[in-house]
Structure 1
Amino acid sequence: MNAFKNHFLIGLISTSMVAISCSDDDVPPEENEEEIINEVTLTFTPAGGGDNVIATYVDADGEGAGNPVLSEIELAVGTTYTLAITMANTMESPAEDITEEVEEEGEEHQLFFSWTDGVFSDPSGTGNIGASGTVNYNDQDDSGNPIGLSTTWTASQRAGTGEFRVVLKHQPDLKSATSTSNDGETDVDITWTININE
């Protein structure tokens, strides 16, 4: 009888310890870490053929003391381009492809754009950062809302210089047909010099 009681007590204590060790207090809090994006590439592909125009942003040390290096965007007057944007964290080894993550989590991300008025003939205006301007998006998430990894642009018929700004917003549980660049957290905010050349 004593042996039975001892086994019963040992089993009861073991079960209690397992239940205690699996309590919610022991589960680490879920972290929503901000992605490190230290390299962004813009690739403008001309609709009629010809060489791609590539502009880059590289911040070799991330948030360190070193300044990022940007190349300028050089487009030809009146030419229509498809813009593809790629992003990476090259501080990881191997480098982490952030583009793929943004595409897979399209319902949580959107790229917004602004530019100097007159730099493009289509879309016209100054963009949709802090405004309700139009952008020619080529890609959508599963809900039919734009992502912005692929867009279409037609350079102005006149030569000139201006700015081209790209903002990536992370909008979990916020993104909708009416969400704007003011919603969510900013993952990328870069402004390039853009030249429209004869």
Structure 2
Amino acid sequence: MGFTSCDDDDAPAAENEEEVIDNVILTFTPAGSSAPVVVSAIDPDGDGAADFTTPSITLSTDETYTLTLSVNNIAEGEDITAEIREEDEEHMFFFEFTSGLFADPAGNGNVDSRDGAVNYDASENDAAGYPLGLTTVWQTAATAQSGTFRIILKHQPDIKSATSTAQDGESDIDLEFDITIN
């Protein structure tokens, strides 16, 4: 007759379970005296078959906006933003937008190329100096434009680096909005 026991050294490694994200709030705060533009993308069934509904975004021409992202699990009453901030060495937001929408950053973002310009808030950089992206700055075009604005949150544990891209890791969020600058 034998007897074996398990100690903590034999326990399986804890999985880093992905959070359910069912609400993403984008707050564009203008440098001028205008009111912030707030849009909320909602996934009505969380991890279910339905996709996020994404409202259109309308910003003023020739205005500088600070974009702040808030990520939530409304069903469970959880603010996922704090967890993303705490795990900044594993997360990074990537942005893609129609060329010409913004005077700064110019181009089309950094989804197709990590070197694409995005004005990340450097105070949010992780310990290695890599951006997080909960806060970014955008200068709209001087003339009316329309197109799309895409946000991708990548979960990149042990792979986030100076060269990691929007194709590396798992996508926690991948949202596309219609956007008008007028």
TM (norm. structure 2) is: 0.91
173, 193, 196: which is aligned to 2:158? 173
Determine what percentage of the aligned residue pairs are the same residue: 50
Distance 1:68 1:176, change over 3 A: closer
Match of 2:168 in 1: 183
**Equivalent runs, 1:130-145 vs 2, <5 Å:** 130-131=112-113, 132-138=115-121, 139-145=124-130
Q: Does 1:105 align with 2:105?
A: no
8, 29, 44: which is aligned to 1:60? 44
**Equivalent runs, 1:33-48 vs 2, <5 Å:** 33-48=17-32
Which portions of structure 1, spanning 4 or more consecutive aligned residues, are displaced by more than 6 angstroms? none
**Equivalent runs, 1:14-29 vs 2, <5 Å:** 20-23=4-7, 27-29=11-13
Flag structure 2 segments of 5+ consecutive residues without an equivalent.
none
Flag structure 1 segments of 5+ consecutive residues without an equivalent.
1-12
Match of 2:64 in 1: 80
Match of 1:69 in 2: 53
Distance 2:157 2:100 in 1: 34
Distance 1:107 1:30 in 2: 18
Distance 1:145 1:23 in 2: 38
TM (norm. structure 1) is: 0.84
Query: Deviation of residue 32 (structure 1)?
Result: 2.7
Distance 1:172 1:66, change over 3 A: closer
Query: Deviation of residue 191 (structure 1)?
Result: 0.1
Distance 2:172 2:51 in 1: 18
Higher CA-based Rg = 1
Relative contact order (C-alpha < 8 Å, sep 6+): which is higher?
2
Higher helix share: 1
Q: Which moved more, 1:67-76 or 1:53-62?
A: 67-76
Match of 1:124 in 2: 106
Match of 1:151 in 2: 136
Q: Aligned AA for 1:96?
A: E
